[in-house]
Amino acid sequence: MDLYLATSNAHKAEEFGRMFAQAGLAIKVHSAKELGGMPYVEEITGTFTGNCRLKAEALRRIAPPKSWVLADDSGLCCDALQGGPGVDSAIYAGKGATDAQNRTKLLDALKKAPAHKRGARFECHLLIIGPNREEQKFLGQCWGRILEQEVGTEGFGYDSLFVPSGFEKTFGELSPQTKDKLSHRAKAFAHLVNWIKQSEIRL
């Protein structure tokens, strides 16, 4: 099975390729770059699934007819911010904001939130569209809490602020191997792999 990823990020394509190989699935993962680049999509739907669909459909239009396309969208959802920054996680402090600026804005927004109101979850949404436009969605969530200051230098985005449930360390302190077992992306991906294994799709 040939699978095209709705991202221009070559690292994501490699990461997905590795994960499929580890799951024992003979899937050839391609980046949108092989099709001349990911078509520009304004992620304006306000939902993770809606944004995934926009990206997947844009790529579906230019991908080879018998291939599959996969889009992902993820972010951090904080209880005290009614699920924010959510779909705006990457641009929380404004378009072009750095991860550090986004983290500073989050700490500020949660400044008055007491410990019991600092619950949060990372969400990863995946949406796959097949050759006959059949669609499947998968959700992975990782629950935890937001600290009052950054700890650790591993990872990216909000990792140094987020302590996953059952742990005392942030994603910024935990090893990438530990994060890979707990993360929202790993969970969404596991659902996708199960679905592929159980479905009639022969690879």
Binding site for ligand IMP (CB under 6 A): 73-76, 89-90, 102, 122, 155-159, 171, 183
Closer of 68 and 171 to ligand IMP (Cβ): 171
Closer of 24 and 96 to ligand IMP (Cβ): 96
The distance of closest approach from Cβ of residue 165 to ligand IMP in the complex, given in angstroms and rounded to an integer, is 15
Clarify whether 2 is annotated catalytic: no
The distance of closest approach from Cβ of residue 43 to ligand IMP in the complex, given in angstroms and rounded to an integer, is 9
The distance of closest approach from Cβ of residue 114 to ligand IMP in the complex, given in angstroms and rounded to an integer, is 23
- The active-site residue out of 72, 73, 88, 159 is 73
Closer of 57 and 159 to ligand IMP (Cβ): 159
Short-list 155, 121, 156, 157, CA closest to 139 = 121
Q: Taking CB positions, which residue lies at the least distance from ligand IMP? A: 157
CB 138 within 8 A of CB 126: yes
Closer of 50 and 131 to ligand IMP (Cβ): 50
The distance of closest approach from Cβ of residue 76 to ligand IMP in the complex, given in angstroms and rounded to an integer, is 6
List the catalytic residues.
73
